A = this chain, B = another copy of it.
Amino acid sequence: MKVLVETSARHIHLSVEHIEALFGKGATLTKKKDLSQPGQFACAEKVQLIGPKNTLMVSVLGPARKATQVELSFTDARTLGLKDVPVRESGDIAGTPGIKLVGPAGEVDLDEGVIIAKRHIHMTPEDAEAAGVKDKDIVSLVINSCGRSAILGDVVIRVSASFATAAHIDTDEANATAAFGECYGEIFR
C-alpha cells in the first residue's frame, strides 16, 4: 500500500500550564495552518530551546497536550548539545532529557520530554485493514527516491479513526532518503 510520506521538522507540543508560563496568563495557541492529521495545527507561536551548547527556535504544534514534548532530530540534539536523547514514540517521555524553554512571557525548566520521534505511520482503521497491519505493528517503509532509495525499518503503525493515513519521518530521515516534495512510500512487512 502506498502512503504519503511527510517530514516533521523539530517542534514542540505544550501543556496548558506551559502555554501560560511561556506566553502569559490566559494565553491560548494561534492556529497558523492545519496539518495533515485531523485537528492538529501549526501555531504562530514559537519557543526557544536553550541547550548546553546552542539554542534553537521551534514551532509550536497545537492543540495543547497533557504533557509538554519536544521532538528533535539527532542533528538538532547535537546542535543543542543534548546527549542521550532517545528514539521514542510520541507520549513515551518517562526518563527522557529535559531542556529550558523560553517564550515572550516567561521560561520553563522542563524536567523531561525531549525525544527523537520514532518513525511511524498514522493509519485509519480502513487503510490498516487494507494493508494487513494493526496498531503497534513494526513494519518497513520503502522510499524510492532519485539517488537515495531506502527501506526504513522499525516503523511503528498507529491506527486511529481520528488519523489520516500518512508516514512521518524526521528531517534526518528525509535527507537520508531524499524524500523531498510530494513523496510516497510503500509499506512492506
In Å, the complex CA distance between A147 and B171 comes to 17
Q: Is the CB of A175 within 8 A of B178?
A: no
User: In the complex, what residues of B have CB within 8 A of residue A178's CB?
Assistant: 74, 87
Say if the beta carbon of A150 comes within 8 Å of chain B.
yes
Tell me which of A73, A119, A151, A176 has the highest count of chain B C-beta atoms within 10 A of its own C-beta. Answer: A176
Interface residues, chain A, with chain B CB atoms under 8 Å away: 73-75, 87, 118-119, 140, 147-154, 171-173, 175-178
Number of copies: 2
Q: CB within 8 A of A75: which of B75, B148, B149, B154? A: B75
- 14 CB contacts below 8 A, A to B, read A73-B175, A75-B171, A87-B147, A118-B147, A119-B148, A148-B153, A148-B154, A149-B153, A152-B176, A172-B175, A172-B176, A175-B176, A176-B176, A176-B177
